[in-house]
Amino acid sequence: MNIVMMTNTFTPHVGGVSRSVTAFTDEFRKAGHDVLVVAPEFDNMPEHERDVVRVPAIRNFNGSDFSVRIPIPFLLSERLEKFEPDVIHSHHPFLLGDTALVVAEDFNIPVVFTHHTMYEQYTHYVPGDSKLMKRFVIELGTGYANLCDHVIAPSESIRDILVQRGVTIPIEVIPTGVDYKHFREGDGNTVRKELGIPQGHVVIGHLGRLAPEKNLEFLSIALVDYMEKNLNTDFVVFGEGPSKDLIKSVFRHHDMEQRVYFGGVVTGRKVADAYHSMDVFVFASKTETQGMVLTEAMASGVPVIALDAPGAREVVKDRMNGCLVNNESPADFADALEWVLGRPGSELLQLKNYCSELAKEYSIENCAKRCLGLYQKDLTVSPKTERLEGLREITAMIDEHWKIWLNRMRAFSGAVMNRSGP
| Residue 332: per-residue pLDDT | 97
| Residue 299: per-residue pLDDT | 94
Do residues 305 and 286 lie in contact, with contact meaning Cβ atoms separated by under 8 Å?
no
User: For residue range 53-85, what is the model confidence (pLDDT) as tens digits?
Assistant: 998 765 554 444 444 545 555 668 889 999 999
Residues 6+ apart with CB under 8 A from 386: none
Do residues 242 and 211 lie in contact, with contact meaning Cβ atoms separated by under 8 Å?
yes
| Residue 404: per-residue pLDDT | 47
| Residue 65: per-residue pLDDT | 47
| Residue 398: per-residue pLDDT | 53
* Run of H or E including 117: none
Structural domains in the chain, CATH included, are 2-177+366-416 (3.40.50.2000), 180-362 (3.40.50.2000)
Predicted TM-score of the model (pTM): 0.78
| Residue 347: per-residue pLDDT | 93
Residues 6+ apart with CB under 8 A from 160: none
Alpha carbons within 13 A on the beta-carbon side of 185:
1
| Residue 284: per-residue pLDDT | 96
Alpha helices, DSSP H only, in 114-215?
131-145, 156-165, 180-184, 188-195
Residues of the chain with pLDDT under 50: 61-67, 69, 401-402, 404-406, 408-409, 412-422
Q: In 3-state terms, what secondary structure has residue 402?
A: helix
| Residue 412: per-residue pLDDT | 43
| Residue 413: per-residue pLDDT | 47
In eight-state DSSP terms, residue 355 is H
Burial of 312 (0-12, 13-18, 19+ CB in 10 A): buried
